[in-house]
Amino acid sequence: MSTPSTPSTPPPGGTWALGDLTVTRFGYGAMQLAGPKVMGPPADRDGALAVLREAARLGITHIDTAGAYGPRVTNRLIREALHPYPESLHIVTKVGATRDEEGGWPPARRPEDLRRAVHENLEDLGIDALDVVDLRLGDAQGPVPGSLAEAFEALVDLQRQGLIRHLGVSNATAEQVAEARSIAPIVCVQNMYNLAHRHDDGLIDELAEQGIAYVPFFPLGGFTPLQSTALSAVAARLDATPMSVALAWLLRRSPNILLIPGTSSVAHLRENVAGAGLPLSGEDLAELDKIGR
Ligand SMILES: NC(=O)c1ccc[n+]([C@@H]2O[C@H](COP(=O)([O-])OP(=O)(O)OC[C@H]3O[C@@H](n4cnc5c(N)ncnc54)[C@H](OP(=O)(O)O)[C@@H]3O)[C@@H](O)[C@H]2O)c1
């Protein structure tokens, strides 16, 4: 039942099933809540907590996080803002990278690293089992080919122990996605993708046929906001922001795409939720489709 402060309209895009967990296709990515370069605490701690509470109030039931954000900062903020969690809320976390003193993201994918990371996520989020854990592969430049078997099998083992409900992979090549699926079922793939970076088009369509979610990170361009003349032209014609158009396009691109745009601002969060419902015509879609081709 709606409370006076709960919007009566759910976020645009409807819902998607991550295994037996139903989430809104419009989710929230928590990385931007940590300090500069995703290190340390946020400058505005109350503001960060307010963003998380607003996400829940807006009806968002999918939050994306990682122990490496901060590190261990965003998970603790999520706990402080939202624990005890509503039954409908599902948190997806990632393991497989750590942080160094320069703010780099070195891999941490030995079985003992992954076990430690899973236990830290459980502790920081204040739960007994993680809804979804993505094995984060590659490096900061993108996916790197190579077998994921040893690392993924370590997570499967933790899943068998009841510490993880569902598995996914992130920053992965199509071959690594296939290798993971040959070992155990996955519910999602989280890779970089947006209007201007379309290298995963084929993979998205293949995953859609298999009922597996594709979760684009950097949906708005990440640290370098999306810029495109065609995007600005469509946005101007619709009297909308380029961010809204970029998110609305992703929702239309494929039903298995889940959005996790990041923001540290309540105003931007509201704007993004409202904007992603923007109706796009066939003409708009055709024009936008050319950007990343
Ligand atoms: N698997 C991986 O390797 C990986 C890598 C990177 C990210 N991720 C996940 O993906 C999520 C999304 O990525 P992201 O947050 O880095 O990038 P993003 O969603 O593409 O963009 C976030 C940036 O856009 C700005 N922004 C958001 N809404 C805006 C608006 N309405 N108007 C103007 N600016 C706006 C934010 O600034 P403000 O804070 O000022 O709004 C922030 O700088 C992350 O939160 C994280 O959970 C995963």
pLDDT of residue 232: 96
Among 28, 69, 85, 214, the one annotated catalytic:
69
pLDDT in tens, 166-181: 999 999 999 999 999 9
pLDDT of residue 182: 98
The alpha carbon of 223 and the centre of ligand 1 are apart by a number of angstroms equal to: 7
Q: Whose CA is nearest to atom 27 of ligand 1?
A: 263
The alpha carbon of 263 and the centre of ligand 1 are apart by a number of angstroms equal to: 6
- Closest Cα partner for 120 from 57, 163, 170? 163
Is pLDDT above 50 for 114? yes
- Closest Cα partner for 28 from 67, 74, 68? 74
- Helices and strands, number each (H, E), in the chain: 10, 9
Mean pLDDT, rounded, for 135-144: 96
Looking at 3.40.50.300, 3.30.565.10, 3.20.20.100, 1.10.10.10, the CATH number of the domain 21-222+255-260 comes to: 3.20.20.100
CB distance 249 to 291 below 8 Å? no
* Rounded Cα gap, residues 247 and 197, in angstroms: 14
| Structural domain spans, the chain | 21-222+255-260
Does 69 participate in catalysis according to the annotation? yes
Is residue 202 helix, strand or coil? helix
Orientation of helix 201-210 relative to helix 174-183, angle to 10°: 20
- Which atom of ligand 1 is closest in space to residue 262's alpha carbon? 15
pLDDT of residue 27: 98
The alpha carbon of 29 and the centre of ligand 1 are apart by a number of angstroms equal to: 7
| Model pTM score | 0.97
- Give the pocket of ligand 1 (CB within 6 Å): 29-32, 64, 94, 136, 170-171, 190, 217-222, 225, 243, 260-265, 268, 271-272
pLDDT in tens, 278-287: 999 999 999 9
Q: Whose CA is nearest to atom 31 of ligand 1?
A: 268
CB distance 284 to 234 below 8 Å? yes
Is pLDDT above 60 for 4? no
Is pLDDT above 90 for 203? yes
Mean pLDDT, rounded, for 247-260: 98
> Given the DSSP bridges, would you call strands 213-217 and 62-64 parallel, antiparallel or unpaired?
unpaired
pLDDT of residue 292: 86
Is pLDDT above 50 for 1? no
